[in-house]
Amino acid sequence: MLQLLTRQRFFLSFFFPVAVALILGAGFGYAVQHHTNTVQRHAFQSQEEDIRVAMQAENITRKLLEVKLRLAKALAASKAQQIDEGQAYQLHTLIVDETAALEKSLTDLTSSQDFRHIRSAYPDALSAFKEFRQFALMSTDQMSIDQSLAGEHLISATTYYGTFALRMGDIAKAFMFHAGENAAQTRSELQDFSARMTLYSALAVTAFLAVWFGLSLSTSRQLDRLNSILQKLSRGENGLGNYRTFSQIKAMAERKGTLIGDMADAVLAFQKTQDERRMALADLHDREELHASIISQAPIGIVVVDSQTLQFISFNDATFESLGYTREEFSALSLYNLQAQLNPEQVDAKVRNIVALGGLDFETQRLDKHGNTRDFWVSMRPLHLQDRDCMTGIWMDITTRKQAERELTRYRDELEQLVGERTLDLEKTSQALAQQTLELQHTNAQLRSAKAMADDANLAKSAFLANMSHEIRTPMNAIIGLTHLIRRDATNHHQRQQLDKVSGAAMHLLSVINDILDFSKIEAGKMTLDPTDFELEKVITNVFTITGDKAESKGLEVTAELGNVPPTLHGDGVRLGQILTNFMGNAVKFTENGSVSLRAFVTHSEDNQVTVRFEVRDTGIGLSPEQQNKLFVAFQQADVSTTRTHGGTGLGLAISRRLADLMGGQVGIRSEPGKGSTFWFEAPFGVGANAVPAPLNKPCPPKPACW
């Protein structure tokens, strides 16, 4: 009976605590393993999603850059007359397809479960993307028509691309930063969990050893060995570091049902838990290295700089590789060492400007390891990091693009030089031929004398025309006035018709005389402007009054649209009316049926200055390119037959061009034979004192369609 009680006591004292400890240890190990695997799985999924979205954002930016470069290359080819309208349309279609695909990829970013991290940057990126696409398509539309306007659209598209690239960079950075935060949080959780589990394990093992040591002094040697191993494990060391120790503990563990055997099993389980913990930490470290590797292998330079010393705190591989340095060499440098143009004082001023503005984007030149100058686009932003004022920077090597621009300039200069040399050769040949014979020299002398006489005759002609025009205009005004008075009192229909012919011929002659006087003033440099505030609507009304009768007699529809032009402008309204009257008169003269429209709109607005474009469009006979080249030249018309058919001196458009030059503007024409013509005039005006300038491109209700 006593033996049975003793066995039960030993059973309760030794076996049961050991069994409970083993069960708890196994459960503890499983719980640790399960928790560690769960945390690692969730962290890996989150990091993988963030990295995928960041790479997708970078890919969208790169593909949009390819679209921009293709458009720039096409524009250069268009300027060289290497692209026709069909190819421009194909490029337009290609850009539409590519931007549609990119917009879908951009929209897919919103499906990310971490979209909240880019909620502020995404609308700006989407807006910049749409603006880029709009200006890019506008550039392709104008590429075969007006390369200058296409170039302006391309510049606008490039500006919006820069905004888009920055916003997409912010999006990628946000996801990468979020991935880093998740990794840090996961690492912290595992470390805390491991520390707690280690503490719990150490406490449990220590208590178990104390009970075990008190129950059996005979096993003190084995307990001492086990205790030593457990202490190593509690310190994170490998308690079973050699084969002999491992074999001894394994042999003890084989004594099933004994206190030593159960403790040996517990030691082995603890060792396994520690091994799993080390494996989890190693796996977490590998994932951190993966995140760092992605940043390091980014194709653009990413740096963190100390704002005080301008030393590099952190940088990726692209940063030093773009300048030819190794990581060790680059880590010893600062921003001062890389400057190709700025001295230290200028660099400090630039840093202060970046901090004051909250960030800055600019282009600069830097020196590589071998002293060569390279061009970079740089984006710097201030950052407060761990009680330390820093700056984050992104820079992109644009040397190839800049070299292409410089090569294009050099090629143009060489072409101009070649043309000059060819011209010089022609001059030398001409001089050699002139020197071969005295007769040619004598002839040249006679020609020079004749030219001088012709110049004198031209001056005398201008003076004669001005004087004669003035002498003729005075009695002509009397003739017009008397004709009007006689016609008012005439009752005979035939007499009225004859007087109408006299009045019409006199008005035509007076118009010719006025044109000659204006042209003589312009040639003599005596034409001046009289800028005042004027109402544009009154000027247009006066133009329509002058040309309306003839348009009505032909049955033409005459319309006007003033768009977003301020109602009151500051400038020479009289000369503006003269130009528009010439344009409208020609349009009505050469249009037999259809319509003539006058349209005005603002093309540029800044402070109290606006640039206004006037367009007179008709459905008349149109002009060929050869005929257009003869326009705006004094005493010339597009076709000599028009003089016989419609009359005119050919001075109206020449005077209009000279007046446009005086007003700081320009004139031009777009026309196709049989499809009508559009004459345009563009010049700067001030905004009148009582007018509020309309914003550029803001839609306004049109003026009444007809006067």
Name beta bridge partners: 677: 671
> Do the domain assignments include residue 290?
no
Q: Provide the mean pLDDT of the chain.
A: 79
Domain span holding position 629: 528-687
Q: Which long-range contacts (C-beta less than 8 Å, at least 24 apart) are formed by 354-358? A: 354/380, 354/381, 354/382, 354/391, 355/307, 355/382, 355/391, 358/382
Token reading at 146: 């007006």
Boundary-marking domain end, from 501, 521, 541: 521
**217-227 mean pLDDT:** 67
Q: What is the pLDDT of residue 705?
A: 37
609 and 591, same domain (yes or no)? yes
| Gyration radius (Cα) of the chain, Å | 45
Task: Flag whether pLDDT at 329 surpasses 80.
Answer: yes
533 and 676, same domain (yes or no)? yes
**138-153 mean pLDDT:** 83
> Do the domain assignments include residue 312?
yes
> Do the domain assignments include residue 42?
no
547 and 681, same domain (yes or no)? yes
Residue 239 to residue 232: CA distance in whole angstroms: 5
Q: What is the pLDDT of residue 669?
A: 92
361 and 378, same domain (yes or no)? yes
Task: Flag whether pLDDT at 63 surpasses 70.
Answer: yes
Task: Flag whether pLDDT at 694 surpasses 50.
Answer: no
Task: Flag whether pLDDT at 24 surpasses 90.
Answer: no
557 and 682, same domain (yes or no)? yes
Q: What is the pLDDT of residue 581?
A: 92
Looking up residue 336, the CATH number of its domain turns out to be: 3.30.450.20
588 and 498, same domain (yes or no)? no
Q: What is the pLDDT of residue 682?
A: 96
User: What is each CA distance from 53 to 168, 173, 177, in whole angstroms?
Assistant: 11, 10, 12
First to last CA, the chain: 131
Boundary-marking domain end, from 506, 521, 536: 521
Residues in the chain: 707
Of 270-279, 380-389, 428-437, 639-648, least confident by mean pLDDT is 639-648
Helix (H) / strand (E) element for 628: namely: helix 625-629
Which of 29, 67, 26 has the alpha carbon at shortest distance from 160?
67
497 and 557, same domain (yes or no)? no
Whether the CB-CB separation of 677 and 620 falls below 8 Å is answered with yes
Boundary-marking domain end, from 496, 521, 546: 521
pTM: 0.35
> Do the domain assignments include residue 102?
no
Total domains in the fold of the chain: 3
Task: Flag whether pLDDT at 699 surpasses 50.
Answer: no
CA quadruple 563, 568, 569, 573: dihedral positive or negative?
positive
546 and 619, same domain (yes or no)? yes
User: What is each CA distance from 642 to 170, 433, 510, 633, 639, in whole angstroms?
Assistant: 64, 42, 20, 15, 6
**Beta strands in 350-499, from DSSP E residues, in sequence order:** 360-367, 373-384, 389-397
> Do the domain assignments include residue 83?
no
Q: What is the pLDDT of residue 600?
A: 96
Looking up residue 609, the CATH number of its domain turns out to be: 3.30.565.10
505 and 550, same domain (yes or no)? no
467 and 490, same domain (yes or no)? yes
> Do the domain assignments include residue 542?
yes
Q: What is the pLDDT of residue 706?
A: 42
Residue 478 to residue 390: CA distance in whole angstroms: 85
**396-404 mean pLDDT:** 88
Token reading at 226: 């086990």
> Do the domain assignments include residue 499?
yes
Looking up residue 511, the CATH number of its domain turns out to be: 1.10.287
Task: Flag whether pLDDT at 134 surpasses 70.
Answer: yes
Task: Flag whether pLDDT at 662 surpasses 50.
Answer: yes
533 and 608, same domain (yes or no)? yes
Task: Flag whether pLDDT at 567 surpasses 90.
Answer: yes
> Do the domain assignments include residue 706?
no
Residue 407 to residue 475: CA distance in whole angstroms: 66
Please tell me whether residue 313 adopts helix, strand or coil conformation: strand
505 and 576, same domain (yes or no)? no
Confidence of residue 6 (pLDDT cuts 50, 70, 90): very low
Q: 32: how many CB neighbours lie within 10 A of its CB? A: 22
622 Ramachandran zone, left/alpha/beta (phi>0; psi -120 to 50): left
Model pLDDT for residues 230-249, shown as the tens digit of each residue? 777 666 666 555 556 667 67
Confidence of residue 623 (pLDDT cuts 50, 70, 90): confident
